Amino acid sequence: MRFENKVAMVTGAGAGIGREVSLTLAREGADIVVNDIDPAAAERTCEEVRALGRRAQAAQGDVSDYERVRSIVDEAVKVFGRVDILVNNAGYVDIDEGHPEDLRLEEWNRLVAVSLTGVFICSQLVGREMIKRKSGKIVNLASTAGLVGLPSATAYTAVKHGVVGLTKALAIEWGRFGINVNAAAPGSTLTARAEKYFKDDPAAYADRAARVPLGRLAYPSDQAKLIAFLASADADYITGQVVVADGGTYALYAGFAPPK
Ligand SMILES: NC(=O)c1ccc[n+]([C@@H]2O[C@H](COP(=O)([O-])OP(=O)(O)OC[C@H]3O[C@@H](n4cnc5c(N)ncnc54)[C@H](O)[C@@H]3O)[C@@H](O)[C@H]2O)c1
């Protein structure tokens, strides 16, 4: 019960990794502010959190909308008294952007707004509350695309490198307030969307899994365990770090495959 009496705000918590993180933190005692742009998805996760015996508050909103996030944070503080943990998870994986010479500016701007500016907005507004209390844990969702380039994902690669930079900048600024800021960098993770894609194309899954030293893609629970660790007191002396959970892929020299 590492999160007893803790309040966590998880963005993009209606599906995928964010939903799994919410349930993992709740299982260990946390009450959850469940943000998602999709109100029905946020409500579904809230019901699952409540079924675990914890309190949950649905907070519909787009993380790139400053005023909306401000009211979500104000409401969370009113209801729960504080926010101890912020998981900046909201975003969407678009690994089919096409090539940079054809990328539409609107697509670039939208990805930057949600997956980078949104991380800054939530961090600033929740961070101000954490500064008052001189404690807090922030975990940002980067990606292995925050460390190396991904084909057909120019904006995604740039944005996730930005999340890594923002993580380090916030960590060095807010260490003096007792706030830890770290990033989790997932490799390919089998969210419902990815599972559906691979179900239609099992050969593609076999090909991808064969490139992973641990022999499989990640489950959302693999990422949730890492994020929970970074959000817990077990990580009290860790800040400004990017921790990769990719089954060893990033450790492998590009162009090679692990032994069969
Ligand atoms: N799945 C992967 O393979 C993978 C790999 C590396 C990094 N990541 C990162 O993990 C995070 C979660 O990814 P996922 O695969 O679980 O995604 P997902 O698409 O399964 O879920 C994302 C959730 O975020 C919500 N959302 C989208 N835009 C939002 C916005 N503007 N404001 C609030 N909520 C919003 C969606 O409604 C959805 O419920 C993302 O930051 C992603 O870049 C995922």
> Tens digits of per-residue pLDDT, 125-162?
999 999 999 999 999 999 999 999 999 999 999 999 99
> What is the tens place of the pLDDT at every residue in 193-228?
889 888 889 999 999 999 999 999 999 999 999 999
Q: Are 247 and 213 within 8 A, CB to CB? A: yes
Known active-site residue 156: yes
Check residue 61 and give left, alpha or beta (phi > 0: left; psi -120 to 50: alpha): left
- The reply to whether the predicted model has a pTM over 0.95 is yes
Domains of the chain in start order, with CATH, are: 7-246 (3.40.50.720)
Q: How far apart, in whole angstroms, are the C-alpha atoms of residue 161 and residue 215?
A: 26
How buried is residue 6: exposed, middle or buried, by Cβ count under 10 Å (0-12/13-18/19+)? Answer: buried
As for ligand 1, residues whose beta carbon falls within 6 Å of it are: 11-12, 14-18, 35-38, 41, 62-64, 89-93, 114-115, 118, 141, 143, 186, 188-189, 191, 193-194
CA of 176 to the centre of ligand 1 (A): 30
- Mutate which of 37, 96, 117, 120 for ligand 1 pocket (most atoms within 8 A of beta carbon): 37
- Give the DSSP H or E segment for 57: strand 56-60
